[in-house]
């Protein structure tokens, strides 16, 4: 039992705010702006980026989220991310706090208020505060939150040398949970921690039929010996917006991508291990080559031409494609 050597203070409003500020001073964060439907506005002081503890998103994980990128003052592919967000909301039985157009507008306005020209936008829908039960409280107001932040960054080595991944020992999520981007990321967190503890960069989920699933916050794809780009089916993994867009781009620019075909199908572990290239795909990592999977080298153990070509196609689309929203800063 912990023995307190001093009496715990009962805080005034001002004390509580000072402690929230002290927490941020001890551990600074790269968060530029936060919209909260509960605050009915945008805050830029990270100490104020808070939500009530009794919101079910906090203590029961009854909430969903999604993430889009800000690239050179423009938001990339937001509508695809919003489509997925609405699908996740429906499957999670979450009410929307407003219309899709209204949420889209809040995301764009929060981005403008942040002043951030490059970074990430993560937004959440919660079932709201009002009880510590399992079902949401009667009359609970759904919450909508938008955070503009620096985004996840990865070592340059991942692109120049390729990553090392391991088959996770944690079981893959059941399909209904895997296709829903809910805030229950415990398996994803544990698989990434496990990989890092064992000296790898990330993990890969395998499904119960022995087919490849996905990574912790990324999809996985392969280039077969015959030169086809193959991607696991989306019925039991997250429909990555990056994967879906890259599959379109690769089909439209097959020779530039350097592939003979583009297929979405089950991929057994043995076929996958025999591939020429293995790729990680996602909004933050974009396209990164995998050089090693468990104790096995993929292809010649070096980043391959398809991973480079797909990264170029994606970066062009992010800079000058037709899926960009201009932000009025
Ligand atoms: C579990 C999981 N799979 C795949 C992805 C890749 O999705 P996206 O390309 O939309 O970032 C993510 C990222 O959000 C994820 O969390």
What is the pLDDT at residue 32?
Answer: 98
What is the pLDDT at residue 230?
Answer: 98
Rounded Cα distance, 218 and 154, in Å: 13
Rounded Cα distance, 17 and 51, in Å: 14
DSSP 5: S
What is the pLDDT at residue 2?
Answer: 59
Ligand 1 contact, 238 CB (< 6 A): yes
Ligand 1 contact, 314 CB (< 6 A): no
Average pLDDT over residues 99-106: 98
- Percentage, residues of the chain above pLDDT 70: 99
Atom of ligand 1 nearest to the CA of 243: 9
3-state secondary structure of 304: coil
Ligand 1 contact, 191 CB (< 6 A): no
Contact 155, 280 (CB under 8 A): no
Task: Please choose from 245, 246, 283, 323 the residue to mutate so as to test ligand 1's pocket, defined by most ligand atoms within 8 A of CB.
Answer: 283
3-state secondary structure of 167: strand
- Look over the chain and give the mean of its residue pLDDT values, rounded to a whole number: 97
Which tens digit of pLDDT belongs to each residue from 67-77? 999 999 999 99
Which tens digit of pLDDT belongs to each residue from 203-252? 999 999 999 999 999 999 999 999 999 999 999 999 999 999 999 999 99
Contact 276, 227 (CB under 8 A): yes
Which tens digit of pLDDT belongs to each residue from 130-180? 999 999 999 999 999 999 999 998 999 999 999 999 999 999 999 999 999
Strand 31-36 relative to strand 324-326, pairing: unpaired
Average pLDDT over residues 15-22: 98
Ligand 1 contact, 202 CB (< 6 A): no
């Amino acid at each position: 039992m912990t023995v307190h050597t001093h009496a715990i203070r009962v805080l005034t409003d001002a004390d509580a705010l000072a402690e929230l500020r002290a927490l941020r001073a001890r551990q600074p964060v790269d968060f530029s702006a936060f919209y909260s439907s509960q605050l009915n506005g945008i805050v830029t002081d990270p100490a104020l980026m808070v939500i009530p503890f009794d919101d079910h998103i906090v203590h029961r994980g009854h909430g969903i989220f999604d993430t889009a990128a800000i690239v050179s003052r423009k938001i990339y592919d937001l509508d695809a991310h919003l489509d997925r967000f609405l699908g996740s909301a429906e499957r999670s039985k979450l009410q929307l706090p407003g219309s899709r157009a209204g949420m889209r507008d809040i995301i764009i306005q929060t981005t403008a208020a942040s002043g951030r020209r490059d970074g990430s936008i993560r937004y959440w829908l919660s079932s709201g505060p009002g009880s510590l039960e399992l079902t949401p409280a009667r009359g609970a107001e759904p919450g909508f939150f938008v955070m503009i932040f620096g985004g996840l960054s990865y070592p340059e080595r991942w692109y120049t040398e390729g990553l090392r991944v391991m088959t996770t020992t944690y079981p893959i999520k059941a399909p209904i949970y895997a296709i829903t981007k809910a805030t229950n990321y415990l398996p994803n967190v544990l698989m990434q921690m496990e990989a890092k503890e064992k000296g790898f960069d990330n993990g890969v989920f395998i499904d119960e039929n022995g087919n490849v699933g996905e990574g912790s916050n990324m999809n996985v794809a392969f280039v077969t010996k015959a030169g086809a780009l193959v991607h696991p089916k989306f019925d039991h993994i997250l429909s990555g917006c990056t994967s879906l867009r890259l599959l379109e781009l690769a089909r439209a620019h097959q020779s530039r991508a350097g592939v003979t075909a583009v297929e979405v199908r089950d991929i057994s572990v043995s076929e996958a291990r025999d591939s020429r290239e293995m790729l990680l795909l996602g909004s933050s990592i974009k396209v990164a080559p995998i050089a090693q999977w468990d104790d096995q080298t993929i292809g010649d153990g070096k980043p391959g031409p398809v991973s480079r070509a797909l990264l170029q196609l994606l970066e062009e689309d992010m800079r000058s494609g037709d899926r960009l929203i201009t932000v009025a800063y």
